[in-house]
Structure 1
Amino acid sequence: MSKVVTFGEVMLRLATPDRLRFGQAGSFTATFGGGEANVAVSLANYGLPVEFVTRVPKNDIADSCLRELRKYGVGTSHVVYGGERLGIYFLETGAVARPSKVVYDRAHSSVSEIAPGMVDWEKALQDASWFHWTGITPAISQGAADACLEAIRTANRLGIPVSTDLNYRKNLWKYGKTAAEVMPALVEGCDLILGNEEDAEKVFGIKPEGFDAASTGGRVDGARFESVCRQLTARFPRAKRVVITLRGAVNADHNTWSGVLWNGRELLQAPTYDITDIVDRVGGGDSFMGGLIYGLLAYGDDRRALNFAVAASALKHTIYGDFNLVTVAEVENLMKGDGSGRVVR
């Protein structure tokens, strides 16, 4: 069975309850999450063996986090210990015209102080069929970027496919380097590149002509992104697939959701889902990535993998927390057109 390895930071998530604003909240709901950990949980739920690699402190909070990951079937045997704190992010969930807000508290976290040589990547990637990372990791620190590059080059040498979610976060690039300076060397080693409608522009200056994310009216034309995909594959020829998620924001509670995949021959577009009454959109892109990796490994068909990814992510918007806790059967049921939400008895 295909084994997937992911690498990145996992954090304590503290969210205001009942959509309260930060200034109103007298308590926070504590869970855990982080891009690559979220992908790992998705894949474990789909029945794939998966290992999550990170660096955490040796304390009770980190132990609770790792137990939570193991509860969902994620392997943690290659996690390394060191440093003094787990990163934290605070979430204020928006409603209607009020957007959600995230405040990071992750300076000097254990993984931000990671360095090459701390992880034995030969062992961590042994028997792996896939390696995944996101652009959040190299944004944390130079050490995290260097360790990520070390992992990518090891995977390349071992012949393991590598995927990335560009995941540009402007508030994280604070250590003196820009994404444009750091990301190209890492993306050069990737076989699959995922981004949203803005990532390629923010990181590489590549954007679709005539597209304005603020004026989509909740509908995003996937055909406009073929030029973006072509430009990315021209710049990073190792990448055989480029995938763009398409989010049309009507408001904080109502989005449309789809995606396109360019495989060098044709641009495939998935069905568009109309997602109303969103429960939690955090981790939506990660749930897409988890679904895409599973679909490519399980089906070996680009179109079916893309459709699985979009359906899986549409379901994630109905689930509280970072993790997408759905099964293959549930995703495939939605792919067949059953979005009624009727009680299953």
Structure 2
Amino acid sequence: MGSNPLDRTGLYALVRRERGVSEHGKRHQRSDWNRRNYSSYIVDGGPWLNILCFGEPLIRLATTGYERLEDAHILEVTYGGGETVVAASLASQGENVAFASKVSANRLGTNSLMMLARCGVDTSRVLRSNERMGLYYSERGRSIRPSIVTYDRSGTAMAMASHTDFDWDQMLNGVDLLFFSGVTPAISEEMYEACKEGLYACRGRGIHVVCDLNYRSTMLEPSVAFERMHQLLPNIDELIASEDDILSISSANISKNEMFDYCLTKFRGLFLDYPLRSACFIVRQSDRYDFGSFRGALLTQNGEYFSKTQRAAITDLSSSGSIFAASMVHAQCCKWDPQFCIDYATMASAYKATLAGDLCFATETELASLLADTAQPSIRQ
């Protein structure tokens, strides 16, 4: 691990013990059910990995029920942000996770870090400053009305940070895998430079780099976003995306029936154009009755793998793409068979859509059990 391994003390260690992970970062023995139902998919147990997520925590202000923002009298306060959601999900699935960022030194910033710590995420690599926290307003859609997210993140601690604030030698000490999303290099030119420096540092250390495309049209024009990703992709090992990312950048008008094949064609092109080890995406579609279908694809150097189509009643689609990304990272850290990896991550995305809010604390056991062929009780007690 190195001289400054991920923290194993205090609340972080307690949460990890409760989630079935030893002080040395190894899983405790899986239950008989787990070994019986999906151990056959494990290709190689491999060493446990230490994951660093680099991004910006945000305050999430959400209307209650299905209210529009204009009609709201109460806003629920929670925390989110792509990398934040991924870090919390990875920790819930049993991974060793640390978070790196620059966050406001006020009470809201502290509370966002406390939320991550409660999940078992190490926040010792987070810098603090006097700038504000970023936030976003979320209203859930219903039937023909789409969900809407409104961002307010100018002048935040990350937006005002310099790329020189981040000491990658120290931040990457003991790290095996770096995760970030396309949102982070879109925050500012300085954060774009910080991401480039981080990726170069990872390449020199042999650290695996995973990027969730996570494109936000309100932050960058498609041409600028594409150019930045074009510069970053040569140092990225694995690319993850959703249908929204692919459609936003391409500005294509694609029917629902053509969506999966269109995304597959685009990702095949990316896989040929850049030195990616793997690439995966998920296509999420919902009808006017708030019922959705979820299907994923994983492209590797050894072949292509397609998930079963999962269907679920939708409560909130937000962050279902981030949960897909987190679960794919976890599955590949476990060195499971590629087919099981994409099935597992797709199921996780569908599972998240049944939950309100951005965060999902589902465990590996919960998600894998949903893929079992055996019947499950309607009420577990």
Flag whether TM exceeds 0.5 (same fold). Answer: yes
2-side partners of 1:220 and 1:98: how far apart?
A: 22
**Counterparts of 1:181-192 in structure 2 under 5 Å?**
181-192=227-238
Deviation at 1:320, TM superposition (A): 2.1
* Structure 1 counterpart of 2:311: 274
Which AA in structure 2 matches 1:89? Answer: Y
Q: Radius of gyration: which is bigger?
A: 2
* Structure 2 counterpart of 1:287: 323
CA shift digits 1:53-102 (9 cap, x unpaired): 11111111101111011011111000011241000000011111111111
2-side partners of 1:252 and 1:188: how far apart?
A: 42
2-side partners of 1:257 and 1:83: how far apart?
A: 42
Could you tell me whether the CA contact under 8 Å between 1:311 and 1:334 is conserved in 2?
Answer: yes
Paired residue secondary structure (2:227): helix
Deviation at 1:118, TM superposition (A): 1.0
In the alignment, structure 1 segments of 5+ residues that lack a partner are: none
Which AA in structure 2 matches 1:189? Answer: N
2-side partners of 1:187 and 1:300: how far apart?
A: 25
**Counterparts of 1:1-345 in structure 2 under 5 Å?**
1-173=48-220, 178-200=224-246, 202-203=248-249, 205=250, 212-213=253-254, 215-216=255-256, 222-237=260-275, 239-251=276-288, 253-276=290-313, 278-337=314-373, 342-345=378-381
Structure 1 residues 106 and 161: CA distance shift in structure 2, 3 A: same
Paired residue secondary structure (2:159): helix
Could you tell me whether the CA contact under 8 Å between 2:246 and 2:263 is conserved in 1?
Answer: no
Could you tell me whether the CA contact under 8 Å between 2:143 and 2:288 is conserved in 1?
Answer: yes
Structure 1 residues 304 and 313: CA distance shift in structure 2, 3 A: same
2-side partners of 1:177 and 1:78: how far apart?
A: 32
1-side partners of 2:144 and 2:264: how far apart?
A: 31
Structure 1 residues 330 and 270: CA distance shift in structure 2, 3 A: same
Structure 1 residues 20 and 137: CA distance shift in structure 2, 3 A: same
2-side partners of 1:220 and 1:132: how far apart?
A: 30
TM-score by length of 2: 0.83
Could you tell me whether the CA contact under 8 Å between 2:106 and 2:130 is conserved in 1?
Answer: no
Structure 1 residues 97 and 40: CA distance shift in structure 2, 3 A: same
In the alignment, structure 2 segments of 5+ residues that lack a partner are: 1-47
Paired residue secondary structure (1:103): strand
Aligned length in residues: 334
1-side partners of 2:242 and 2:349: how far apart?
A: 13
TM-score by length of 1: 0.91
Deviation at 1:247, TM superposition (A): 1.2
Structure 1 residues 282 and 51: CA distance shift in structure 2, 3 A: same
CA shift digits 1:12-48 (9 cap, x unpaired): 0000001111121111000000001111011100111
Structure 1 residues 173 and 83: CA distance shift in structure 2, 3 A: farther
1-side partners of 2:95 and 2:122: how far apart?
A: 11
2-side partners of 1:252 and 1:129: how far apart?
A: 43
